[in-house]
Amino acid sequence: MGEVTLPVWLVVLAAILATIGLIDRLLAPSVRWFFRRRANKAIEKLNSSLSLKIQPFKLTKREALIDALMFDEQVIDAVELEAKQSGTPREIIMQKARKYAHEVVPAFSQYTYFKIGTKLAKKISQMLYRVRLGNPNDKALADIKPNSSVVFVMNHRSNMDYVLVTYMAAASSALSYAVGEWARIWALQNLIRAMGAYFVRRQSSSNPLYRKVLARYVHMATIAGVTQAVFPEGGLSLDGAIRPPKFGLLAYMVADFDPKDSRDIVFIPVGLNYDRVLEDRLLISKASKKSGHIEKFKFSPKILFGFIYHSIGLAIKGHWFRYGYACVSFGKPISLKSYLDDNKFDLRLMGEEQRYKQIEKLGQNLMSEVGKAVPVLPVSLVATIFEQEGAGLLSLFEIKSKIFNLIKELEEKNIHVHIPRNDHDYLVDVGLRMLILRHIIKVEDKKYRANWEEKLLIKYYANSIAHLL
């Protein structure tokens, strides 16, 4: 029998592979068990400090969630229907559906969310604004049943909304957001998925298979008790006013709701407002001055980096200040079970058209409560006075008199007005200073007038509270 000669590198490689195989069989299970046990203890400790617990669904491996979604009965029916209508083999349509599922389903990491995301959100928020909590509504929030699915419903003023609400809600729960396609950038999208967010194609009405995959994921997350945050407006307000809401995500959450067997869905209205919206000039530049038509907002890296460069320059010179106040205020929670009981109907038993009308009615009620929760800040008050006054000159006494009357009117309606240091005079000073620094208001002979070249910006900030007056 002849000798077989092997090169040294092949013997070494074989030995390494054999060692790896031995470790995988004998040691790896124990190591995995050790780290999984530590992770579970960390989650238990974390949950003990949260008022809204992290549900097991949110901690499930991403591939397992994708598989569950692909075996969902309604997704399978949608695949069969598209295969039949298009004449395309079922396997190819199934691959397309799986691609959509990979696009939608997040990969939540509690470490990324609480150790990186929330701390970063806090630093960014406090660096840019004086952050305040308006109406906390602690008693109403404490009365929510522990096993409820909680959905924060918010107005959409700025891309800072995601950062600000993540920071403000960090002590309560880990929020799951629906994020637009703007965030699907290579490095950024992995971080966003790890934060528990899921991507949504805003223009998907012509793709029923995609919409079904998205709908079933949102439904699965909701019935599993995942705490979510939604912006029914579907995009940033370009003129400062609350935009007409869209009800796609809301419909996915409630359409199959069983009042008897499903866990309750509790909607919490959240109002957001800022003394300065970082994107304000970019947003109002999209509004046509001739027709009043509002174009779709598009992200501009050039403007963003120009803004950052300018801010860094001001900081170096010692002329940079925070952008006033940012405030989050909570409204009265709305229980879906109570809402259906009061109105005496079951969405599952309705035809599609009638069901959509009822969901639309629910959505309008929610947005009305969100509008009531929007806090009133110094800049919005000052801008309202100058928007009403036009280009006329006002003395400081006249401004204060008008603002104090406005505050009284709002407080009589139980609207939250943030009064810094509980000092009405200081409120006026803060609001004026912010607008004067930005050349939106001019000072002439100790009197003040609006810079009418900035009338769209004045109206933008006045519009943030126009629905309250």
pLDDT, tens digit (0-9, with 9 covering 90-100), for 169-185: 887 778 888 887 666 66
Question: H/E element holding 150?
Answer: strand 149-154
Over residues 28-57, the mean pLDDT reads: 56
In this predicted model, which residue has the larger pLDDT, 32 or 345?
345
In this predicted model, which residue has the larger pLDDT, 374 or 198?
374
**Same domain membership, residue 253 and residue 141:** yes
Q: Which of 338, 373, 408 is the last residue of a domain?
A: 373
Name the residue range of residue 346's domain: 103-278+323-373
At 40, is the pLDDT very low, low, confident or very high (cuts 50, 70, 90)?
very low
In this predicted model, which residue has the larger pLDDT, 51 or 333?
333
**Same domain membership, residue 158 and residue 241:** yes
**Same domain membership, residue 140 and residue 239:** yes
Over residues 7-35, the mean pLDDT reads: 63
What confidence score (pLDDT) does residue 361 get?
Answer: 92
292 falls within a domain: no
Over residues 316-336, the mean pLDDT reads: 85
Over residues 54-75, the mean pLDDT reads: 88
Q: How many residues does the chain have?
A: 469
pLDDT, tens digit (0-9, with 9 covering 90-100), for 388-410: 988 789 999 999 999 999 999 99
Strands 334-335 and 265-274: antiparallel
At 147, is the pLDDT very low, low, confident or very high (cuts 50, 70, 90)?
confident
What confidence score (pLDDT) does residue 466 get?
Answer: 95
Residue 189 has pLDDT above 90, yes or no: no
Over residues 126-155, the mean pLDDT reads: 86
Residue 258 has pLDDT above 90, yes or no: no
3-state SS class at 52: coil
Q: Which string of DSSP letters, residue by residue, matches 219-286? A: HHHHHTT--EEE-TT-S--SSSSPPPP--HHHHHHHTT--TTTSPPEEEEEEEEEESS-TTHHHHHTT
**Same domain membership, residue 271 and residue 413:** no
Worst-scoring range by mean pLDDT, 26-35, 341-350, 399-408?
Answer: 26-35
pTM for this model (two decimals): 0.83
At 122, is the pLDDT very low, low, confident or very high (cuts 50, 70, 90)?
very high
Over residues 175-203, the mean pLDDT reads: 77
**Same domain membership, residue 214 and residue 124:** yes
271 falls within a domain: yes
Over residues 352-369, the mean pLDDT reads: 91
CA angle 188, 189, 193 (to 5 degrees): 120
CATH at 405: 1.10.3380.30
416 falls within a domain: yes
Of the ranges 77-86, 304-313, 340-349, the best mean pLDDT one: 77-86
Residue 93 has pLDDT above 50, yes or no: yes
Over residues 252-265, the mean pLDDT reads: 87
Please count the structural domains in the chain: 2
What confidence score (pLDDT) does residue 13 get?
Answer: 73
318 falls within a domain: no
31 falls within a domain: no
pLDDT, tens digit (0-9, with 9 covering 90-100), for 291-325: 444 445 455 566 666 666 767 776 676 666 789 99
> Distance between CA 65 and CA 77 in Å, rounded?
18
**Same domain membership, residue 333 and residue 189:** yes
Say how many C-beta atoms besides its own lie within 10 A of residue 276's C-beta.
Answer: 20
Mean pLDDT of the chain: 84
CATH at 252: 3.40.1130.10
93 falls within a domain: no
What confidence score (pLDDT) does residue 430 get?
Answer: 94
What confidence score (pLDDT) does residue 212 get?
Answer: 94
Over residues 237-246, the mean pLDDT reads: 90
What confidence score (pLDDT) does residue 80 get?
Answer: 94
What confidence score (pLDDT) does residue 46 get?
Answer: 47
At 459, is the pLDDT very low, low, confident or very high (cuts 50, 70, 90)?
very high
**Same domain membership, residue 434 and residue 338:** no
Over residues 193-211, the mean pLDDT reads: 83
> Distance between CA 168 and CA 91 in Å, rounded?
45
> Distance between CA 127 and CA 278 in Å, rounded?
13
Q: Which of 357, 373, 389 is the last residue of a domain?
A: 373
DSSP H stretches of helix in 287-395: 301-317, 336-343, 352-373, 378-389
